[in-house]
Structure 1
Amino acid sequence: MVAQGFAVDLDKPLVFQVGHLGENYQDWVHQPIVSKEGPRFFENDFWEFLTKTHWWAIPLIWLPVVCWFSLKSFWLGRTPPQIAILLVSGIFLWTLMEYSLHRFLFHIKTKSYWGNTAHYLLHGCHHKHPMDGLRLVFPPAATAILLVPFWNLVKLISTQTTCPALFAGVLLGYVMYDVTHYYLHHSQPTSEIPRNLKRYHLNHHFRIQTKGFGITSSLWDKVFETLPQSKASQKGL
């Protein structure tokens, strides 16, 4: 696609190209290329390696951390039932974070060179190549950096003994989100609930990309009125 005299070459590393699209970047990035073959991001092999993550690495790396933080609250005097409640509360808190990040950060409008470049790395690449299985879950190194502000947020709304377990719940919610996200793109569910969830998410990618920001559920889309209309509803208008 040519934008402002610039053509994106899909056969070359993309990250430092997309910024040149300027205000046309938004149109370009929301024209998906449905292929399991992902593009190259960087010329440098090390940086290219860091952009790729197998889905199973997420539970493998982060579930032990969830267990450790849960045990920390136990060592500080919280009972197993209390920890279970805190874990569920953390998962619920994550669902709101998931919706908010997806709606207000991942879909922020950009047009500057570095704005487009950062957005492409953060989420734009997923919309451009939604079936790229190695860039669907979040790289652990980037997750570790983002967990710092999440930890500080949880500390603000909890006590010393409840904070670790509540944070563990948030982290568990993230793990559930990332593996669910991968499942929705690369599985063929046979039961009704996951099949509807897959249809709901792919609707966000291929039909109405400005609505349907929930991944693990449509709860907050219903609360904040960003639930997309069904095709049947649109036909009836």
Structure 2
Amino acid sequence: MVAQAFIVDLNKPLVFQVGNLGEAYQEWVHQPIVCKEGPRFFASEFWEFLTRTVWWVIPLIWLPVVCWFTSMSFRMGHSLPQVSVMVISGIFVWTLLEYTLHRFLFHIKTESYWGNTIHYLLHGCHHKHPMDGLRLVFPPAATAVLCVPFWNLAKLISTPSTAPALFGGGLLGYVMYDVTHYYLHHGQPSKEVPRNLKRYHLNHHFRIQNKGFGITSSLWDKVFGTLPQSKLSEKNR
């Protein structure tokens, strides 16, 4: 007797359902539902609240933190040009982290109950409901936890006086990434560069989901060979 395949009930909290999909999870999560109303994650109001974040909370919370860390390097004797280089370096490091996390963590293949559940919370929910405006940016509580290892990484790869500005630059890169990500889904860009970036990202969601991992730019996709082919190139093959 063949076991009946599990079916997710979209009218019930999703998080503790999706793990039951097993091997079918990957196919299910990459079939997007285009709707501005997001699904319910948890039965608990407290945990549900923690999963929902309006986009402007990100700069409101984290830009003062960026300023604080950057000012630490000033107070330790570095000049404005020196701190500027550190901040720019931090932003550059973030772009590589952005690409690496998106490609190797957010798109990891899972099939176990807890693997599917954690993946759904991290990124699967975004691919299933790409227009959910309250789950496009990373919840501040989760970001605060992740800041600890990234701060330790900054201290490991730099000196005590340069680490704060380097970390501040990385955090600024994250803020730029999150607000850009929100804009690419819900904004209506009129200029060519953001319009192309929006098209590039939506291509990742709706056409080739295993390529095009860059959000703020396609730089690392070009470097590591994950740049998706254009439709014109595919037609000429």
Q: Same fold (TM over 0.5)?
A: yes
Moved over 6 A (4+): none
DSSP-derived class of the 2:222 partner: helix
Counterpart amino acid of residue 151 in structure 1: W
The root-mean-square deviation of aligned C-alpha atoms, in Å, is 0.8
Residue number in structure 2 paired with 1:155: 155
Q: What one-letter code is carried by the residue in structure 2 that aligns with 1:78?
A: H
Q: Tell me the equivalent position of 1:120.
A: 120
Deviation at residue 4 of structure 1 after TM alignment? 5.2
Give the corresponding residue for 1:135. 135
Q: 1:40 maps to which residue?
A: 40
- Normalising by structure 1, we get a TM-score of 0.98
1:79-118 paired onto structure 2 within 5 Å: 79-118=79-118
Where does structure 2 lack aligned partners over 5 or more consecutive residues? Answer: none
Residue 166 (structure 2) pairs with residue 191 (structure 1): no
Q: CA deviation at 1:80?
A: 1.0
Q: Give the conservation status (yes or no) of the 8 Å contact 1:200–1:212.
A: yes
8 A Cα contact 1:184 1:201, kept in partner? yes
Shift of 1:49: 0.3
CA distance in 2, matches of 1:202, 1:24: 23
Q: Tell me the residue number matched to 2:219.
A: 219
- Which residue of structure 2 lines up, in the alignment, with residue 236 of structure 1? 236
CA contact (8 A) 1:69 1:165 kept: yes
Structure 2 match to 1:11: 11
Indicate how the Cα distance of structure 1 residues 4 and 216 shifts in structure 2: closer, same or farther if over 3 A, else same. farther
**Partner amino acid, structure 2, of 1:212:** G
Deviations 1:196-218 (A, max 9, x none): 00000000000000000000000
- Give the 3 Å change call, closer, same or farther, for CA 4–70 of structure 1 in structure 2: farther
Query: Counterparts of 1:220 and 1:4 in 2: how far apart (Å)?
Result: 42
Query: Aligned residue for 2:168?
Result: 168
Identity in percent = 79
Task: Specify the alignment match of 1:145 in structure 2.
Answer: 145
Counterpart residue identity of residue 209, structure 2? Q
Number of residue pairs aligned between Structure 1 and Structure 2: 235
Find out whether 1:27 has 2:27 as its counterpart. yes
8 Å CA contact 1:4, 1:21 repeated in 2: no
CA deviations on 1:123-142 (whole Å, 9 max, x unpaired) are: 00000000000000000000
Give the TM-score normalised by the residue count of structure 2.
0.98
State the 1:31 CA deviation: 0.1
Say whether the 8 Å CA contact 1:4–1:22 is kept in structure 2.
Answer: no
